[in-house]
Amino acid sequence: MRTQLRIIALIATLVVSVSTSAQLHFGLKAGTGLTQVKLEKETLTDANNRLGWFAGIMVEYSMPISGLGIDASVLYNNKEIELETERGKERETLKYVDVPINLKLTIGLGSTAGVFLTTGPQFSYNIGDDDLFSDLSLPTANSQIQNISRRFELKKSEFSWNVGAGVKLMKHIQIAYNYNMAIGNTADVNVDLSTITGIANDAANGKLKNNTHQVSVALVF
């Protein structure tokens, strides 16, 4: 019984010491992102890369003994996508609230600098329009059909994965690169071909997915 009590007391002491040594910091984060749009099965248009920006707040929970920690943020993300169509370049702005939750491994390079690696999931919520390129249509040579309608329906929420790295300077500044990979589709592309005899209505339906290269600067307090 005494041995068990000693073990419990030792575990409690370790938990208290680890909790005391853990550090919780808040900060502000902002940056720019290059959105890469990929169209699957949708052969009527081509996609181009576009720059956007994001900004918000962050919290960092770190355990100095192991160098491990959690880096979480709530960010407003404003990004653009551009399509090359028969009418020329068409652009739309996507508006999201992003919530990345990353595991962070930090390696110190002295008391004023360090490098870190991050990876983890991101949950994104669409706060803009649900329909993209709502007026986009494809002219046809058929004299009985004026055009074929295309509808880009944006998902309400999106799940993705982050992989990144960065540096810490003067204990308060963090400069990072992050690659955000979409898991699943960003939008469904629906093309109405029901009025054309002999063509299946889902023949031109496709998917839109976007991955993003991001560079950010954070000020941590």
Please say whether the beta carbons of 96 and 77 come within 8 A: yes
Is the pLDDT reported for residue 191 higher than 90? no
- Give tens-digit pLDDT for 54-88: 999 999 998 877 789 999 999 999 988 887 766 66
- For the chain, first and last CA: distance in Å? 46
Please say whether the beta carbons of 131 and 150 come within 8 A: no
Sequence spans of domains, the chain: 23-220
Classified as helix, coil or strand, 155 is coil
Residue 143 confidence (pLDDT)? 42
What's the CATH fold of domain 23-220? Answer: Porin (2.40.160)
Name the nearest CA neighbour of 209 among 191, 189, 185: 185
What is the value of pTM for the model shown? 0.77
* Token pair listed for 177: 């690169």
- Cβ neighbors of 91 (< 8 A, separation 6 or more) are 50, 80, 81, 82, 83
DSSP 98-153: EEEEEEEEEEESSSSEEEEEEEEEEEEEE-S-SEESTT-EEE-S-TT--EEEEEEE
- Give tens-digit pLDDT for 121-168: 999 999 988 777 765 554 444 444 445 556 677 888 999 999 999 999
- Give tens-digit pLDDT for 10-25: 555 544 454 444 688 9
Distance CA 125, CA 211 (A): 15
| Angstrom distances, CA of residue 83 to CA of 51, 91, 95, 219 | 14, 7, 17, 35
Is the pLDDT reported for residue 195 higher than 80? no
